[in-house]
């Protein structure tokens, strides 16, 4: 493999201009420079951007999936990007060697598809939900995993050409899992690298008004799209029990039930069940696709 060229994609809703500026400054300070940087205004005008940064303003909010696909398409048009790095607009690259580390990772493994960053707040803390494995809460334990973090990650452009991009219909929630399952089924690897860090404020997912509904709807769609038929009721049953056990908000449960019903009654094509070999591989990696 030759030198891997880095393209950066950032989505913004226009409500964090100062944070976006700091993020772009941290991208510009990388030892290995990005070949391209694209910022997508997801239904919002963009502020003035630094020289060399491409801005795309969308007339409406297409969600995380739709906005990222727009950024991917723009990077593909340039034709000189091998790795796509997606970053949250309120994140920050606190080390100058992030892209250097990523390039080394990809050059060492031709089948590496996705690298998941460690997400840490300004005090260095990583939330449990940002550790992409079931049996370890230790954020410093890296290695092969079955999913990745949306706030900061790298994607192989060759992998995306083979598997397709983000699931537009999902809008928000579980879009990473959908892409991860397709990547694994196509024989690509996903790596959690705790040495590659995106600093990000400490947050709760429930801050988004649509959280409960879309989490439920998209989880049903995930099962319908990707799981072998016998695993669909198992997966949905496990997550129903977990949700009923964990959710304390009556309004949240009501929204979750509405989203679950929406997922059952609406299609999310195409259905391409993963191979049983992929199920076994995910199980060996510590997360069978029933949880």
Q: Which tens digit of pLDDT belongs to each residue from 47-104?
A: 999 999 999 999 999 999 999 999 999 999 999 999 999 999 999 999 999 999 999 9
Q: Is residue 24 part of a domain?
A: yes
Q: Is residue 281 part of a domain?
A: no
Whether residue 51 is found in the same domain as residue 173: yes
Tell me the CATH number at 112: 3.90.550.10
Q: Residue 81 in contact with residue 75, Cβ under 8 Å?
A: yes
Instruction: Calculate what percentage of the chain has a pLDDT beyond 70.
Output: 98
Among the three residues 153, 180, 203, which one is the final residue of a domain in this structure?
203
Whether residue 24 is found in the same domain as residue 108: yes
Average pLDDT, whole number, for the chain? 95
Single pTM value for the model: 0.95
Q: Is residue 286 part of a domain?
A: no
Whether residue 199 is found in the same domain as residue 215: no
Whether residue 95 is found in the same domain as residue 221: no
Q: Is residue 52 part of a domain?
A: yes
Whether residue 100 is found in the same domain as residue 176: yes
Confidence of residue 3 (pLDDT cuts 50, 70, 90): confident
Structurally, the chain folds into a number of domains equal to 2
Nearest-angstrom CA–CA distance, 23 and 122: 14
Per residue in 179-236, pLDDT tens?
A: 999 999 999 999 999 999 999 998 776 555 588 999 999 999 999 999 999 999 999 9
Per residue in 244-253, pLDDT tens?
A: 998 888 999 9
Q: Tell me what the mean pLDDT of segment 246-273 comes to.
A: 93
Whether residue 97 is found in the same domain as residue 229: no
Per the structure block, which two tokens stand in for 112?
């590496």
Q: Residue 130 in contact with residue 119, Cβ under 8 Å?
A: yes
Confidence of residue 2 (pLDDT cuts 50, 70, 90): low
Nearest-angstrom CA–CA distance, 169 and 162: 19
Per the structure block, which two tokens stand in for 53?
């940064």
Could you list the residue range(s) of the whole structural domain that residue 254 is in?
209-274
Per residue in 119-136, pLDDT tens?
A: 999 999 999 888 998 877
Per the structure block, which two tokens stand in for 38?
């694209």
Nearest-angstrom CA–CA distance, 219 and 204: 19
């Amino acid at each position: 493999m030759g030198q891997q060229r880095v393209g950066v994609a950032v989505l913004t809703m226009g409500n964090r201009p100062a944070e976006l500026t700091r993020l772009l400054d941290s991208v510009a300070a990388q030892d290995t420079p990005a070949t391209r940087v694209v910022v997508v205004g997801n239904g919002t005008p963009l502020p003035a951007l630094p020289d060399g940064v491409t801005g795309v303003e969308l007339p409406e909010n297409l969600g995380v999936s739709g906005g990222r696909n727009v950024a991917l398409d723009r990077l593909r048009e340039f034709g000189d990007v091998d790795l796509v790095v997606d970053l949250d607009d309120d994140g920050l690259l606190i080390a100058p060697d992030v892209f250097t580390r990523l390039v080394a990772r990809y050059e060492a493994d031709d089948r590496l598809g996705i690298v998941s960053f460690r997400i840490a707040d300004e005090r260095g803390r990583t939330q449990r939900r940002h550790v992409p494995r079931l049996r370890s809460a230790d954020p410093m334990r890296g290695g092969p995993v079955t999913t990745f973090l949306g706030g900061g990650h790298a994607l192989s452009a060759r992998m995306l050409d083979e598997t397709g991009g983000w699931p537009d219909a999902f809008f928000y929630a579980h879009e990473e899992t959908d892409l991860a399952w397709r990547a694994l089924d196509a024989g690509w690897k996903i790596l959690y690298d705790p040495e590659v860090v995106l600093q990000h404020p400490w947050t709760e997912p429930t801050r988004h008004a649509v959280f409960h509904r879309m989490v439920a709807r998209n989880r049903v769609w995930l099962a319908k799209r990707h799981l072998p038929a016998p695993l669909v009721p198992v997966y949905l049953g496990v997550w129903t029990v977990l949700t009923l056990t964990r959710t304390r908000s009556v309004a949240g449960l009501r929204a979750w039930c509405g989203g679950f019903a929406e997922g059952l009654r609406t299609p999310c094509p195409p259905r391409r069940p993963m191979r049983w070999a992929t199920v076994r591989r995910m199980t060996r990696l510590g997360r069978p696709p029933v949880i």
